[in-house]
Structure 1
Amino acid sequence: MRNSGQIIIKGIVQGVGFRPFVYSQAIRFNISGNVKNLGSEVRINAFGDNFEDFLCAVSKGTPLSKIDSVTVLEVTGNNPGTFYIEKSSRGELTGFIPPDVAICDDCISDIFQKGGRYENYWATSCVNCGPRYSIISDIPYDRERTTMDKFPMCKECLLEYESPKSRRHHAQTIACSSCGPGIFLLDKKGEQVCTDDPVKLAASLLDKGHIVAIRGIGGFHISCIESSAGKLKECLGRTEQPLAIMAKETAINNIAYVTPEDKVTLNSPEHPIVVLNKKDHGSHPDISNMNTIGCMLPYTGLHHLLFSKLKNPLLIMTSANAPGNPMVTETDMAVLKLNNCVDYFLTHNRFIQNRCDDSVVREGYIIRMSRGYAPKRKEIDLGNLCILGTGPELNSNISIYKSGFCYTSPHVGNVRNPPTLRYLAETVENIGSLTGANYDIIAHDMHPQFLSTKFAKEMTKETGAETVAVQHHRAHIAAAVADKPDEPVVGIATDGVGLGDDGKIWGGEIFSGVLTDLRRVAHLENVMMPGGDLATKFPERMLYGIMPEERVKDLLISRGWGQMEINLLEKQVEKKFNVAETSSTGRILDAASALLGICREKTFDGEPAMKLESAGASGKPDKWDLTYYKKDGCRIFSTKDLIQTAFDKTDSSKIPDIAASFEYNLARGIAKMAVDAANEAGIHKVALSGGVAYNHLFRETIKEEIISSDLEFIINSDYPLGDGCISFGQCIIAGMSKR
């Protein structure tokens, strides 16, 4: 039996209370020695008869830690006779910092404990909860390298910080109302409103219908009660886009169906927005005019204080940013940009080092990966080169591969917008600094006009790294099969847009092979997009591009199209002037939504397809005949025939039934091509990725068809199904191609 040793524990061991945890276990097992934070690992020198029990205990880690390896070496030096925590040093950079997490139950109790030190204090936290990524500027994770450095601890906080018996032992975010960040209420001009209790007054103003911008741990939310939701939407220019709500669990249960899995997600340390099915599809139309509603529980001390004083059962909580732009983080910028629709600002004076939006989850699948889930660290062997994946153009983030781990940033947004492109660059710098990255390869989307591609090429001039272009949909498949990237797979990629090998817009693709040689073997029919991007904004143009027929023209005229507009559209399609071709699944769903009169103009990303799904939620799907043909060695599913079938049925069927049937048969057709491709190649795994897979009926139909064909169905629950997985997939393909 060993009675001494040097224990090296590698992994996510910073910002998770690991050193105080080790200290507590040393006291418990009568161990002397020391523990030191070395960036991505902790080094423990331990002496004592209970060494083996101590080793077993510390190897389990804390709730927020992730242990990669535990190594025991021979200890050098003498037994100090006591146990103490050494000052940190930088060391290696393979571990990383954990994401921000929700306030824990113990800290919530502290906030509401009468006469307690933390009573009514908005920034209460401990080693088990609160901000991490949003406040860190460098590692190792110590207070002087966070934005808490501006708030020296008072005597009482210092006592807790140094006490091994305290839950806040070495908690870098420890603060109280005497020494920590303060909370303030400002009017729309940015002038402070005099009050002893800013949170109480803010709750009162919200109850009266005012709109209040609330500064959280990762940026500003814009908040109001339900009766003010219409006013807020009008002001933001998002009249159709659903808004998320924050409410206590009882209120959420009254509004929506909460499965046991949803309940776990809502209450998890991540506390994301969870998209739930409404109990009454027509309820709360000013918040969401769909069959679903995004709900989250209060996740900071400020939120819990606000709800304790609020009379209304729920609050709208939407990110303070224009669509596709970064979340507003600083108070002066919030006052400048939001005062046209915000009446008051509830803010604080702790600097937000790294902005972080709310994560969004539906049925266990991540839609937006941010607070709680990112930055994300994934163990994967892609060789010895350091790789940066710059992501797509929409719903972007970045990934960095280094020394056996891939690190993916929180959601960045639409980098077509200059502020978001700058945020992308900031994120590369921040994550790169935290990981000590020195790039050998910069992977980017194959589309030469994407600003993320241009950014990658600019970076190569600065770094000397090699660029690798990765086709968008192959990156989707790579992210889906990351756990076994060397095995052959049939991949289904279903999304809105991505440049294909042939220069056309892909988005309904079947691939076959290994990741370094994924061959396109089947796809949706290429159809016309009159006006290119204009057809995505006005999906009736998409409908006519698929079916340039008299009955479609008659339909458009009946909806108010002028004869001149019809003539121009007809000539455009006939001459193929400014007409793109696409195999996109998203564009086909857009056309179906336009055909049924569900959505005639897109006002936010994914709106036509989302509204089609919502309309079909109450419908009963029927099986339709499906048409396939072969061209250029690929099997092709005729979506024109599918649209024509839907058109034929509009006179005799209910809209919900047609909507459900269209989604169901589109999924059947895609699944059939994938099953046939798998059987022809002798491949037993089929992976699904792409934003369309969030559609419940579409995804579950494909899953059922794959499994019923005795094939293994693979779908990613660790990364977004949409474009939030692209940068990760880019790293995988770039790395494997260079091994």
Structure 2
Amino acid sequence: MQKCGIIVVKGIVQGVGFRPFVYSLAEKYNISGSVQNLGSEVRVVACGDNFDSFLSEIGKGTPLSKIDSVDVLDYSGAAVSGFYIDKSSSGTLSGFIPADVSICDDCIDDIRDKNGRYFSYWATSCVNCGPRYSIILDVPYDRERTTMDEFPLCAGCRKEYEDPLSRRHHAQTIACRNCGPGLFLYDRSGNPVECTDPLEKAAEFLDAGHIMAIRGIGGFHIACTESSASCLKERLGRTEQALAIMAGRMSFIDSVAYVSDEEREILRGPEHPVVVLVKRERDSLCEVSNLDTIGIMLPYSGLHHLLFDNLKAPFLIMTSANSPGNPMITEYETALLKLRSSVDYFLTHNRVIKNRCDDSVVRDGYIIRMSRGYAPKRTSADLGGRCILAVGPELNSNITVYKGGFCYTSPHVGNVRNPSTLDYLKETVHKMTAITGAEYDIIAHDMHPQFLSTRYAKELSDISGAQLIPVQHHRAHIAAVCTKPCVGIAIDGVGLGDDGTVWGGEVFAGCVPELERVGHLETVDMPGGDLATRFPERMLYGILPDDLTAGILAGRGMSELELNVLDRQVKAGINVAKTSSTGRVLDAASALLGICREKTYDGEPAMKLEASASAGTPAKWEREFKTESGCRVFQTSSLLRRARAEYLSGTDVSDIAASFQYNLAAGIAEIAVESAGILGYDKVAVSGGVAYNKMIRETVINIIRSHDLIPVLNRDFPLGDGCISYGQAVYAGKMKG
């Protein structure tokens, strides 16, 4: 029986209460020795008769830890009396810092205990909850390397911090109203609002219909009650966009939306994301969301819970204060400058947000936006010994670092077409590089030469000498899902293809990195390029450029001059991109049915088409295919032509929308199934933003399963472009170097 040893624990063991956890176990099993942070692993010197039991318990970890390995080394040092937490020192960077998590139930009880130290204190937390990534400056994770360092502990907090029996033992975020960060309320001119309790006053203003910017864990939100929803949308210039809400109680969510057991678990989990739910009544909360779905989250910080304790309204609209595609606003001074025309008041605090983090979004168990709670994300991956940086796509971007058997993926960054978001991408690379101690051998990027992320990759390569590896957008989608031999379906908006056209409805076959394009949607005209994404009727005419389409558009007010210009543009091929994008075909169908004639936010035409289809019954239509350059091609023009015939004959729009979605999904699934049969593969990977559409996704899955094949979809990363940087890293790592 072993009685002494050095225990080395690797994994996510920083910022998760691991050292106090080990300390308490040492007390329980009468172990002498010490525990110490070494970079991002924990080293335990342990001696005692109960060594084996102590070791077994350590391997179970804490609620927020993720243990990769527990190794025991010989110890030949002098015996020590007692057990203590040793001062941290730098060492290996094999682990990582966990994401920010919601306040735990014990801390919620604390802030409602009128006789307790933490009563009504908004920044209450313990070793099991609260901010982590958003406040860290450097590793190892200790208070002096977080933004909490500027708040010295009072005697009461110091006592708990040093008490092995307290769940705040060595909790780096511990604070109370006597020593921790404070809350402040200002009007839109930056003048302090006189009040005894900023939260109580803020709730009063919100109930009165005022709009408020609220600084939370990872940045600012804009909040208001339902009565001010239209006003908020007007001020933000987002009159059509659905907004997320925060509900004070689960009972309210149950009253307005259908909630499965899985969705209930996600809502209440430590991540507390926004969960997209189907409304019980299609026209309910229409000022918040004009779709058949609505995004809802529960309060996830002490500030939120205390706000709802004072609020009469059952829910708040809670939307990110940044404009779409731009990084979260974290500083009060910036918020005051940019939001004073949109909000009436500012509720803020003086804890520095070092690393911004937006709300995560989940639908049907699939991640849409991977941020607070889910990222930064650490994933085991066998990609060899080279260190890789993957800088991601252009839209919905994030970055991934691969080092030593693990991928580290950042929270959502945004649209790097925006200069401020590109700066945020660079900032994120710098932060993730520092935390992981990475020195890059490879930099993977999108193959589009004009993307700003591609240019940034080249700049980094010039400085570091790292090898550049371009990765085609849709192959990165498949690489993020499956590295075994498979057929892969990638259905999304846009991505530069091998042939210089815009891809987006692709079927591949092979094993990463050898993925051959074996099928795709028909390549169609996209008049005006990006202009066709804003005005999807242009997309409709690009696919069906004839008198019937012209008549429909003329009937809606398009002038003869506009139609003539559009027709000449298509016939001459002037400024006409070629695309096989699934998203653009859905846009055209939405325009045909009069559901969305102008896009005002990303994905609007397709999302509104899906909402309409939810009330319809799909019919099976004849589907046409051809073979072109060795690929099976699904003729989407024939599908749109059938939809037009149904529309002109007076068929219910919802039924047409449902039929279009069903047959589009069935067509691309049939190509995949046929390819799998020819090649003898049993797996079909599915990825891309269009797969969030429930009817399309389930149609594809059902057809795959009906042919005794295995559908593979990613629940660890977004189906959309939030998986691209991870896919780029996997693809680059699998290439022979």
User: Normalised by the size of structure 1, how large is the TM-score?
Assistant: 0.99
Aligned pairs for 1:225-624 (under 5 A) are 225-247=225-247, 248-481=249-482, 485=483, 487-624=484-621
SS at match of 1:37: strand
The corresponding residue for 2:96 is 96
Q: CA deviation at 1:40?
A: 2.1
Segment drifting more, 29-38 vs 365-374: 29-38
Distance across 2 between alignment mates of 1:652 and 1:206: 46
Distance across 2 between alignment mates of 1:154 and 1:462: 47
SS at match of 2:316: strand
Distance across 1 between alignment mates of 2:341 and 2:327: 18
2:685 to 657, 663, 687: 687
RMSD of Structure 2 on Structure 1 (CA): 0.7
Q: CA deviation at 1:458?
A: 1.0
Distance across 2 between alignment mates of 1:190 and 1:331: 10
Letter in 1 for 2:143: R
SS at match of 2:135: coil
Does structure 1 conserve the Cα–Cα contact (< 8 Å) formed by 2:186 and 2:345? yes
TM-superposition CA deviations, 1:63-92 (whole Å, max 9, x none):
000000011111121221211110111210
The corresponding residue for 2:666 is 668
Q: CA deviation at 1:53?
A: 0.8
The corresponding residue for 2:11 is 11
Distance across 2 between alignment mates of 1:424 and 1:336: 23
The corresponding residue for 1:722 is 720
TM-superposition CA deviations, 1:116-173 (whole Å, max 9, x none):
1000100000000000000001000000000000000001100000000101000000
SS at match of 1:10: strand
Q: In the comparison of the two structures, how many residue pairs are matched?
A: 735
Distance across 2 between alignment mates of 1:463 and 1:229: 49
Distance across 1 between alignment mates of 2:476 and 2:597: 31
Q: CA deviation at 1:109?
A: 0.3
Distance across 2 between alignment mates of 1:110 and 1:78: 43
- Correspondence 1:58 to 2:46: no
Identity of aligned residues (%): 64
TM-superposition CA deviations, 1:511-531 (whole Å, max 9, x none):
001112100000000000000
- Correspondence 1:137 to 2:134: no
Segment drifting more, 366-375 vs 510-519: 510-519
The corresponding residue for 1:211 is 211
Aligned pairs for 1:615-654 (under 5 A) are 615-650=612-647, 651-654=649-652
Distance across 2 between alignment mates of 1:330 and 1:564: 49
The corresponding residue for 2:708 is 710
Distance across 2 between alignment mates of 1:78 and 1:44: 14
Distance across 1 between alignment mates of 2:193 and 2:605: 43
Distance across 1 between alignment mates of 2:444 and 2:53: 46
The corresponding residue for 2:23 is 23
SS at match of 2:569: helix
Q: CA deviation at 1:399?
A: 0.4
Q: Which runs of 5 or more residues in structure 1 are unaligned? A: none
TM-superposition CA deviations, 1:668-707 (whole Å, max 9, x none):
0000000000111111110000000000000000000001
Q: CA deviation at 1:49?
A: 1.0
The corresponding residue for 1:161 is 161
TM-superposition CA deviations, 1:255-289 (whole Å, max 9, x none):
10011000000000000000000000111111000
Distance across 2 between alignment mates of 1:77 and 1:5: 10
The corresponding residue for 1:87 is 87
Letter in 2 for 1:145: R
SS at match of 1:518: strand
SS at match of 1:410: coil
Distance across 1 between alignment mates of 2:66 and 2:552: 58
Distance across 2 between alignment mates of 1:196 and 1:703: 57
SS at match of 2:337: helix
The corresponding residue for 2:694 is 696
SS at match of 1:195: coil
Q: CA deviation at 1:191?
A: 1.5
TM-superposition CA deviations, 1:698-724 (whole Å, max 9, x none):
000000000110111100000000000
Q: CA deviation at 1:203?
A: 0.2
Distance across 1 between alignment mates of 2:156 and 2:481: 49
Letter in 2 for 1:705: I
SS at match of 2:134: coil
Letter in 1 for 2:185: L
Letter in 1 for 2:230: G
The corresponding residue for 1:659 is 657
Distance across 2 between alignment mates of 1:259 and 1:99: 25
Q: CA deviation at 1:460?
A: 1.1
Q: CA deviation at 1:462?
A: 1.6
The corresponding residue for 1:106 is 106
Distance across 2 between alignment mates of 1:462 and 1:180: 42
Q: Which runs of 5 or more residues in structure 2 are unaligned? A: none
Letter in 1 for 2:241: Q
Aligned pairs for 1:30-45 (under 5 A) are 30-45=30-45
Distance across 1 between alignment mates of 2:83 and 2:76: 15
Letter in 1 for 2:492: D
Letter in 2 for 1:318: T
Distance across 2 between alignment mates of 1:179 and 1:156: 9
Q: CA deviation at 1:245?
A: 0.1
SS at match of 1:495: strand
TM-superposition CA deviations, 1:31-62 (whole Å, max 9, x none):
11111111221111111111111111011000
Does structure 1 conserve the Cα–Cα contact (< 8 Å) formed by 2:40 and 2:139? no
Distance across 1 between alignment mates of 2:78 and 2:194: 59
Letter in 2 for 1:670: I
SS at match of 1:497: strand
Distance across 2 between alignment mates of 1:29 and 1:517: 54
User: Normalised by the size of structure 2, how large is the TM-score?
Assistant: 0.99
Distance across 2 between alignment mates of 1:152 and 1:373: 30
Distance across 2 between alignment mates of 1:47 and 1:438: 38
SS at match of 1:641: helix
Q: CA deviation at 1:459?
A: 1.1
TM-superposition CA deviations, 1:374-406 (whole Å, max 9, x none):
000001011111111010000000000011110
Distance across 1 between alignment mates of 2:680 and 2:181: 61
SS at match of 1:498: strand
Letter in 2 for 1:533: D
The corresponding residue for 1:224 is 224
Q: CA deviation at 1:652?
A: 3.7
Distance across 2 between alignment mates of 1:686 and 1:341: 47
Distance across 2 between alignment mates of 1:737 and 1:286: 50
Q: CA deviation at 1:461?
A: 1.6
